């Protein structure tokens, strides 16, 4: 039988903070679904492999945020509490895979024109799957952030600034989430972490919408 305490899962001392965290996760899930749907429409129209990777990224993030949000909101009753550790690990896994596709879909395009050594970030060993997925999520995000900053220094495109800002908020949000579990009590940190990640997703939504608005203008102009 699993030792649930080993997952460092703590119910928020304040039900209000727990509810806020869960609702923010649901908001993040809705934004992730919106971006994923837009990317999917773009992939069907253009066949772009980058848009396909973005589709996978945001739909995986949608699943991760949804599961995490529902787990936080439904922390009532012994049966639900027993299910929460499994849901938390599943949510962390989906988010980790989403961040992987998100970071490396952009990294592939940047590294195609030059050679740069991989970035390795040392981290404190943690023996639980939940912790490992969180640390890997942080690694992928900071790696994508570094590559995006380098890309902006080469191209000076305003859209790259928005992407870097979004990845930065996601990365520091994940770092705050790890800190909250390492240095309890961290309930407020968890809420702030979710808020930062939601704003990061919103920031990433803006350049995607601008891209497709530009594509529509070009399509109309060519008619």
Prediction pTM value:
0.77
Q: Is residue 71 part of a domain?
A: yes
**64-99 pLDDT, tens per residue?**
999 988 888 876 545 455 677 788 889 999 999 999
Instruction: Supply angle C-alpha 141, 154, 169, rounded to 5.
Output: 25
3-state secondary structure the chain: CCCHHHHCCCCCCCHHHHHHHHHHHHHHHHHHHHHHHHHHHHHHHHCCHHHHHHHHHHHHHHHHHHHHHHHHHCCCCHHHHHHHHHHHHHHHHHHHHHHHHHHHHHHHHHHCCCCCCCCCCCCCCCCCHHHHHHHHHHHHHHHHHHHHHHHHHHHCCHHHHHHHHHHHHHHHHHHHHHHHHHCCCCHHHHHHHHHHHHHHHHHHHHHHHHHHHHHHHHHHHCC
pLDDT for 78 equals 52
pLDDT for 1 equals 40
Q: Is the pLDDT of residue 33 over 50?
A: yes
Mean pLDDT on 32-60: 86
Q: How many domains does the chain have?
A: 1
Q: Is residue 189 part of a domain?
A: yes
Mean pLDDT on 37-48: 84
Structural domain range at position 40: 10-217
Q: Is residue 41 part of a domain?
A: yes
**187-209 pLDDT, tens per residue?**
778 888 888 988 888 888 877 77
Q: Is residue 84 part of a domain?
A: yes
Q: Is residue 166 part of a domain?
A: yes
pLDDT for 74 equals 76
Q: Is residue 223 part of a domain?
A: no
Lowest mean pLDDT among 36-40, 63-67, 109-113, 168-172: 109-113
**Mean pLDDT score across all residues of the chain:** 75
Q: Is the pLDDT of residue 101 over 60?
A: yes
Q: Is the pLDDT of residue 184 over 60?
A: yes
pLDDT for 82 equals 66
pLDDT for 107 equals 56
The residue ranking higher by pLDDT, 162 or 212, is: 162
* Token duo for residue 213: 């608005």
């Amino acid at each position: 039988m699993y030792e649930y305490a080993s997952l460092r899962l703590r119910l928020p001392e304040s039900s209000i903070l727990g509810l806020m965290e869960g609702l923010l996760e649901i908001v993040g899930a809705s934004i992730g679904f919106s971006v994923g749907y837009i990317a999917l429409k773009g992939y069907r129209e253009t066949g772009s492999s980058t848009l396909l990777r973005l589709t996978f990224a945001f739909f995986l993030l949608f699943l991760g945020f949804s599961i995490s949000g529902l787990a936080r909101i439904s922390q009532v009753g012994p049966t639900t509490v027993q299910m929460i550790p499994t849901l938390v690990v599943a949510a962390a896994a989906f988010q980790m895979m989403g961040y992987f596709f998100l970071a490396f879909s952009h990294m592939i395009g940047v590294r195609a024109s030059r050679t740069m050594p991989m970035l390795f970030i040392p981290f404190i060993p943690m023996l639980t799957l939940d912790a490992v997925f969180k640390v890997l999520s942080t690694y992928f995000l900071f790696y994508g952030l570094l590559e995006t900053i380098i890309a902006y220094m080469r191209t000076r495109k305003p859209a790259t600034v928005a992407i870097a800002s979004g990845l930065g908020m996601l990365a520091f949000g994940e770092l705050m989430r790890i800190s909250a579990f390492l240095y309890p009590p961290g309930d407020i940190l968890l809420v702030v972490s979710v808020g930062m990640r939601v704003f990061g997703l919103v920031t990433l939504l803006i350049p995607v919408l601008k891209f497709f608005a530009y594509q529509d203008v070009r399509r109309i102009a060519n008619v």
